[in-house]
């Protein structure tokens, strides 16, 4: 195997405070083996929720 580090982006789509998936995503970086770096993605809580029907009715949402 090579000596290169493997960088992995950890994405969790759950916004619930008690989310098991979010807890796992926060725990994973500490469990990564040598040569692997897990980086948590920023929260998606400020992203607008996509709804095709709403887009058809009102147009595209404002920029983020």
Q: Where are the domains of the chain?
A: 6-58
Q: Rounded to an integer, what distance in angstroms lies between the CA atom of residue 27 and that of residue 18?
A: 14
Phi-psi category of residue 59: left, alpha or beta, with phi > 0 → left and psi -120 to 50 → alpha: left
Give Cα 26 to chain centroid, integer Å.
Answer: 11
What are the residues whose beta carbons fall under 8 Å from the beta carbon of 9, sequence distance 6 or more?
39, 41
Q: Is 0.85 surpassed by the pTM of this model?
A: no
pLDDT in tens, 5-54: 999 999 988 888 899 999 999 999 999 999 999 998 888 788 777 778 88
């Amino acid at each position: 195997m090579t000596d290169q580090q493997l960088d992995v982006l950890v994405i969790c789509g759950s916004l619930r405070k008690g989310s098991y998936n979010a807890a796992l995503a926060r725990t994973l970086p500490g469990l990564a083996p040598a040569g692997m770096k897990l980086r948590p993605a920023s929260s998606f809580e400020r992203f607008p929720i996509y709804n095709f029907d709403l887009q058809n009715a009102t147009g595209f949402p404002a920029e983020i």
